[in-house]
């Protein structure tokens, strides 16, 4: 049909870079929308948030945590490697079954003003 030929001709003249881009809506449908960053929190506020993330949200097994307290350029390190924030989230979600995983604290979470 002429519509099909027209569509094919249009694709043939479209730059490849445009065709290879992932539409923004499909780029990462699992990514949570970013909320504004919480800045200038006290060490006790940070400790409280992280404690809740570990104990209530089980973030080490679910990757469900208060992202607004972390820089988007932060890294997470374990005994194997260091991961960017997006890779930590993706890897954790792929590695663990939240319903079958449990994380408990063996000592209190502490935070300081030191960088």
Q: What is the pLDDT of residues 53-110, one digit of tens each?
A: 999 999 999 999 999 999 999 999 999 999 999 999 999 999 999 999 999 999 999 9
pTM of the model: 0.67
pLDDT at 56: 96
User: What's the 3-state SS for 63-96?
Assistant: CCCCHHHCCCCCEEECCCCEEEHHHHHHHHHHHC
Q: What is the pLDDT of residues 9-65, one digit of tens each?
A: 444 443 433 334 434 443 444 555 678 999 999 999 999 999 999 999 999 999 999
pLDDT at 35: 84
CB 85 within 8 A of CB 76: yes
Which is higher by pLDDT, 24 or 115?
115
For a pLDDT cut of 70, what percent of the chain falls above it?
A: 70
């Amino acid at each position: 049909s002429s519509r099909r030929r027209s569509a094919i001709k249009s694709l043939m003249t479209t730059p490849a870079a445009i065709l290879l881009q992932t539409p923004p809506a499909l780029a990462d449908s699992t990514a949570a929308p970013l909320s504004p960053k919480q800045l200038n929190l006290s060490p006790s506020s940070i400790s409280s948030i992280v404690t809740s993330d570990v104990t209530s949200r089980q973030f080490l097994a679910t990757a469900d945590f208060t992202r607004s307290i972390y820089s988007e350029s932060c890294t997470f390190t374990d005994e194997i490697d260091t991961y960017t924030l997006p890779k930590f989230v993706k890897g954790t979600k792929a590695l663990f079954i939240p319903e079958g995983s449990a994380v408990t604290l063996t000592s209190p979470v502490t935070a300081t003003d030191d960088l």
